[in-house]
Amino acid sequence: MYALVDANSFYCSVERSFNPSLEGKAVIVLSNRDGNVVARSDEAKKLGIKMGQPFFELKELREQHEIAVFSSNYTLYGDISSRFMSLLCRFVEDVEVYSIDEAFLHVDGYDSIYPSYEGLGKSIKETVAKRLRIPVCVGVGPTKTLAKLANKLAKQRPELGGVCVLDTPEVIDKALATFPVGDLWGVGSKSAAKLKKNDIDTAAQLRDVPDDWIRQIMTVNGLRLVHELRGFPCKLLEVSAPPKKSICTEPGFGRLVPDLNTITDALTTHLTRVCEKLRKQDSLCSAVVVSLHTKRYRKIPANGLPALQYHNHLTVVLPHPTNSTPELLKYAESGLKAIFKFGYNYQKVGIMLIGLVPSDYRQKGIFAEGPNEKLLTLATVVDKLNYRYGQDKLRLASQMYNPDWPMKQEYLSKCYTTRWKDILEAH
């Protein structure tokens, strides 16, 4: 049996957990740069706010209703997420972290410790509520797909108390009979439309289709889904996630930029961020990919003609793996110079670090020296200082301070659990 534990509108719940006066009020969390809505509390959903809706469209609604708005504070969400996952690991041995706010648990046999699966679910729910002040729902089923389905039911039906267990064939039959195929895990809007065309509306109908037919319509993934609905596990638990093979970032400038110096400054800023990530996961990278884009589909405002386009990217292979920002910048900058073409208005410059290897990897070539150990040590010192005194307090000279494209975060909450100056105050 599998269980899926999923936090209810996680980002909003985290904001509430450090600010309980928001309980019962509409809360929304915005994407990077405060562009779109990425999370909504139930109250915000009731006001008709859509997922991904642009923030500026909500101006009128905000005048009529009280809506608490937050920029996404990924530092805080990340920390609470890791506490959440670590709490789950206390209940069962095998936990697959599926996303920032949900995890699959392998729960076979645990129903004897906690009188029933229901008891286990309730216990998880209560523990997380007490220790993290975050509401969660638990779905249990014989396969991951059915656990996901059970979780959805637990969210939709408040009378279940946040825990839904699909253990006997009768209960599963009943649940599948009314469950729309479009809401199933792994069924996108395209597949849903295809199934609808063939008069398949509920999960129960999908479960009973012939194998050959579904393989034709939805390939082998569809077949797996049907088997999972029948109660045969096809998707297994992936407990240990492999370390990241590449790290990339490609935020836009926020306006169009034609000149190389400004773009180089942006590149330095992006590179500083990805290098911090690289060092955090304790890796070195062996190549950088620099890319440059004009704005796609842009029309010249004066006459409406499509603007001239230019995209290019270049992979620079390093002589030896490294994680030092100045060293990487040297290569990234020369890569950028090579692909930069004069006379275009650029929208974004991207950087990707690839060929990541563990940081203890040292391979001396005959013609190339290994990485400069002093620079590697320096990088960790810079990270420590910036961690203590704030991002970018110590930076490269070519990194423009307070540039025009910082992450716009007007409604940011505090990092209550990761920065000393941000901790809660009690009177």
Partner 1 sequence: MIDKIDPIPPENITRVDATSRPLLPLYSFVVQAGFASPAESHIERRLNLQDLCVNDTDCTYFVKAVGESMIGDYIFPSSILVVDSSVAVESGSVIVAWVNGECCVKRFVRQGKIIMLESSNEKYLPIYVHIGRDQFRVLGVVTFIVSKPPRYVRPC
Shortest distance, position 89 Cβ to partner 1, whole Å:
9
- Measured CA to CA, the distance from residue 254 to residue 88 in angstroms comes to 40
Q: Give yes or no for a contact between 371 and 320, defined as CB atoms under 8 angstroms apart.
A: yes
Q: What values do phi and psi take at 406, rounded to 5?
A: -75, 165
- Residue in 198, 309, 363, 380 binding partner 1, rule: CB under 8 A: 363
How many residues are listed for the chain in this entry?
Answer: 427
Should residue 417 be labelled a site residue for partner 1 when binding is judged by CB under 8 A? yes
Shortest distance, position 50 Cβ to partner 1, whole Å:
29
Q: Give yes or no for a contact between 330 and 288, defined as CB atoms under 8 angstroms apart.
A: no
Span 299-318, contacts to partner 1 by CB under 8 A: none
Should residue 424 be labelled a site residue for partner 1 when binding is judged by CB under 8 A? yes
Tokens of 201: 């509306």
Q: Select the span of 195-203, 210-218, 303-311, 418-426 touching partner 1 (CB under 8 A).
A: 418-426
- Measured CA to CA, the distance from residue 205 to residue 214 in angstroms comes to 12
Shortest distance, position 410 Cβ to partner 1, whole Å:
22
Shortest distance, position 271 Cβ to partner 1, whole Å:
28
Q: Select the span of 116-124, 243-251, 395-403, 414-422 touching partner 1 (CB under 8 A).
A: 414-422
Torsional sign, CA 410, 416, 418, 420 = positive
- Measured CA to CA, the distance from residue 149 to residue 283 in angstroms comes to 38
Should residue 416 be labelled a site residue for partner 1 when binding is judged by CB under 8 A? yes
Should residue 423 be labelled a site residue for partner 1 when binding is judged by CB under 8 A? yes
- Residue in 35, 50, 86, 174 binding partner 1, rule: CB under 8 A: 86
Query: DSSP H helical segments within 231-359, as ranges?
Result: 260-280, 325-339
Distances 172 to 26, 44, 124, 270, 333 between C-alpha atoms, Å: 34, 32, 22, 49, 58
- Residue in 52, 66, 130, 402 binding partner 1, rule: CB under 8 A: 130
Should residue 427 be labelled a site residue for partner 1 when binding is judged by CB under 8 A? yes
CA dihedral 109, 112, 118, 124 (to 10 degrees): -80
Q: Select the span of 126-134, 208-216, 244-252, 289-297 touching partner 1 (CB under 8 A).
A: 126-134
CA atoms within 13 A on the CB side of 368: 13
Span 12-71, contacts to partner 1 by CB under 8 A: 19-21, 23
- Residue in 337, 362, 388, 393 binding partner 1, rule: CB under 8 A: 362
Phi-psi domain of 355 (left: phi exceeds 0; alpha: psi -120 through 50; beta: other): left
Shortest distance, position 131 Cβ to partner 1, whole Å:
5
- Residue in 112, 241, 365, 397 binding partner 1, rule: CB under 8 A: 365
Q: Which residues bind partner 1 (CB under 8 A)?
A: 19-21, 23, 83, 86-87, 130-133, 362-365, 416-417, 420, 423-427
